[in-house]
Amino acid sequence: MRFQSRRKKFRSVLNGDRCVYPGSVFDPISARIAEDIGFEIGMFAGSIASFAVLGAPDVIVLTLTEFAQQAQRINRATELPLMVDADHGYGNALNVRRTVEELEMAGVSGMSIEDTELPQPFGSVGRTKLLSLSEGIGKMKAALDARTDPNLAIAGRTSAPGATGIDDAVERAVAYEKVGVDAIFLVGIKTKEDLEKVSNAIQLPIILGGGGGPEMLDIDYLSSKNVRICLQGHQPFSAAVKAIYHTMKSLREGTPPGDLEGIASSELMKTVTRDKHYTDMFAKYLNK
């Protein structure tokens, strides 16, 4: 399969001894940029998918089909190992199986399945609620049973550190490790003390959702605590929105196209669209 080599690269990050920051990507060109710049892996988040595909906030209205299709477009255009946030698996444990099947076919290298109760149930808007530990375990089992390529990495994700406390986070991490997930994805870790409580309780590599302040972005420290991937946020999409807004506003207000600032050069556009590859195909297939 064409995706095995990138999945092995992703595994090498999880099984390595250093933490990396992933490049936050949302479409083929952003993924190519991340690859060309040298990011070891790309991260395609559910929130960013909702922005890019629907122009909607992260309130779980994106469908699995829409998410998988965008992931497939990204994977078709690049060799960058792609980690995706598969949210709650788009339903119960049976839906989780379907989610893994679709995303594996879309070429992802790793995915996280979380134990948050989503979409938010009636009467709980604004509060993060977690599934019972038993249901969370069931989802992790379903995810692992659904994959056909053993190189595909599946992380058990929990927001327990910020929602129910670090003791619950430790219990869930230990339980998901016993099920057989490949990594633990923690959201809401704010302090080194809390990270160390989880790190000391499990042997699995850890993925951090970020948001813990500068001291929680220290690569050397994180590496020593078995953190192998640490998200820094999803600024590239916001930067792209700002650039598009500024450019359109300037044009609308009468700025001549030649006076616009921040426009990609023709050389950069040729690079990110892989112009040479297509030029070579023209020469090979369309010239007499």
Residue 2: band (very low, low, confident or very high) from pLDDT cuts 50, 70, 90 = confident
pLDDT band at 81 (very low <50, low <70, confident <90, very high): very high
Q: Give per-residue pLDDT as tens, 131-164.
A: 999 999 999 999 999 999 999 999 999 999 999 9
Round the average pLDDT of the chain to a whole number and report it: 96
**Alpha carbon distance 84, 112 (integer Å):** 7
Torsion of CA 178, 19, 31, 74, to 10 degrees: -10
- Tally the residues of the chain: 288
Q: What confidence category does residue 122 fall into, taking pLDDT thresholds of 50, 70 and 90?
A: confident
pLDDT of residue 123: 83
Cis peptide before 119 (omega within 30 of 0): yes
pLDDT tens sequence across 221-244:
999 999 999 999 999 999 999 999
Whole-angstrom distance, CA of residue 103 vs CA of residue 244: 30
pLDDT interval class at 22 (50, 70, 90): very high
DSSP 84-107: EE-TT-SSSHHHHHHHHHHHHHTT
Per-residue pLDDT at 212 = 78
Look at residue 1 and tell me whether its pLDDT is greater than 70: no
pTM over cut 0.85: yes
Q: Which domains does the chain have, with CATH numbers?
A: 4-239 (3.20.20.60)
- Is pLDDT above 70 for 80? yes
